[in-house]
Amino acid sequence: MSTDSATETQRKSDLSFCYFVIDSLPLAIVAVDPDLRITRFNAWAQEITGHSEKQAIGRYCGDVLQGGMCSRDCPLRTVISRQEPIIRIETTIRRRGGNAIPVEMNTAGLFDQSGNLIGAVEAFQDISKKKAQEREKSNLISMFAHDMNSSLTGIHGLGLRLLKTEDLNQEKPRKFIEVLTKEASKLEFLVKDFLEFSRLQTGKLNLTFDATFLDKELYELFSIYEPKAAAMGILLTLESAASLPVIEADANRLRRVFANLLSNALKFSRQGGKVAITVEESDGEVMVTVRDDGIGIDPEELPYIFDIFHRGRDAEKKEGYGVGLAIVKAIVEGHGGRVLVASEPGKGSTFTVFLPKIRKLGEE
Ligand code: ADP
């Protein structure tokens, strides 16, 4: 074989390897010539756009992608004229016969070995999920602000009326104070969950470990939730060994864990239902179970219920933001423990928190 043909064989093999890499990447890649006619359209580009390679090659890129920037600031035109790449812009492309899809796009010029411009390439990814999450997040934040606002307006208004109580009879101030306290406690719960959530996001969830009397913490929570359960027609019970071991934990955060599990158990129970807290211990762990016989969780939703902002379909009618269980998981895992869930729709749910009695070395 002559040197020239060996070089040519090597070049072809390099090229086919490049195409293999381009087709395997989970990234849509579209190359165009200087007139913006498509010269390469990889498998992911076909998947996202719904156009086959055959339908796309040779056509004007704007006709195929129908991108949100095609008619005004076509990124390909810009990189060709400026000869500078454009990195991570968010735009849209239109699926064949369908909807606009949000994409994140990188665009660059293509040059031959002598540095002459021979076209351009754009690589993009479907970011529909990211956009949907962003929308959900901002919806929740506005719902949160809305709920804070209505509670605050109520508190403010009642405060003003209380200041003028002389002309009211004796019963009214008491009623007002009851409403004030209820609204304030609702706000406190909301704000605390959001504070914990932002600490989670910024990695600032610092736990303070101390000797913690788990039975005392659970009993106190039980005393708070028992009247609430009774008012909802639900029987709340607490069963634990005569005396539980003292564990190394952040007591305040643990209360938050069990408060969230308990308020969910009550929220998703029916009148006449039962919620049971049971505590057991093994050699190295304490297991706290919160069991209800409420509406249960769809098996398809189970893998996601600890995700931040995830709310079950049946949860739509109840108050909440889908933050509570994400906080439960983060706090329990911060203790070196784990939380498991078992549930059957229509029959109820069981959440079990496993906590090590002694913090393992190296854990903060
Ligand atoms: P929220 O209760 O504010 O919706 P959570 O993060 O506490 O948020 O819970 C996430 C979802 O998990 C709920 O929306 C609900 O669908 C489901 N869930 C949690 N606890 C229970 C329970 N005890 N019974 C039924 N569904 C539950």
Probe residue for ligand 1, chosen from 257, 260, 264 as the CB with the greatest number of ligand atoms within 8 Å: 264
Atom of ligand 1 nearest to the CA of 294: 24
Asked whether the predicted pLDDT for residue 187 surpasses 70, the reply is yes
Ligand 1 site residues (CB inside 6 A) read 260, 264-265, 268, 292, 294-297, 305, 310-312, 315, 320-326, 349
User: Looking at residues 100-105, what average pLDDT do you find?
Assistant: 93
Residue 105 pairs in a beta bridge with: 89, 124
**Alpha carbon distance 356, 341 (integer Å):** 18
When the pLDDT of each residue in the chain is averaged and rounded to a whole number, the result is 86
Other CB atoms within a 10 A radius of the CB of residue 13 amount to: 10
Please identify which residue in the block is written with the tokens 């509670």.
Answer: 151
Return the residue matching tokens 């079990």: 352
If you measure from the C-alpha of residue 317 to the centroid of ligand 1, how many angstroms do you get, rounded to a whole number? 12
**CATH superfamily of the domain spanning 3-126:** PAS domain (3.30.450.20)
pLDDT tens digits, one per residue of 274-303: 999 999 988 889 999 999 999 999 998 898
Give the CATH class of 131-202.
mainly alpha
Return the best residue to mutate from 197, 232, 297, 304 for the ligand 1 pocket (most ligand atoms within 8 A of CB). 297
User: Per-residue pLDDT averaged across 203-212, rounded?
Assistant: 84
pLDDT-wise least confident of 90-99, 136-145, 269-278, 332-341: 136-145
The pLDDT tens digits for 315-357 are 767 777 788 898 899 899 989 999 999 999 999 999 999 999 8
Evaluate whether 337 touches 247 at the Cβ level (below 8 Å): no
Structure tokens at 29: 């890649």
Token pair belonging to 332: 């329990």
Q: Are 91 and 103 in contact (CB under 8 A)?
A: yes
> Where do the domains of the chain lie?
3-126, 131-202, 210-356
Of 22-26, 99-103, 240-244, the range with the highest mean pLDDT is 99-103
pLDDT in tens, 55-84: 999 999 999 999 888 877 888 888 888 878
Res 268: pLDDT = 94
Give CA angle at 11 (9, 14), nearest 5°: 110
Decide: 265 and 257 in contact? Cβ < 8 Å. no
pTM of this structure: 0.63
Mutating to test ligand 1, I would choose from 268, 269, 351 the residue with most ligand atoms within 8 A of its C-beta, which is 268
CATH (residue range 210-356): 3.30.565.10
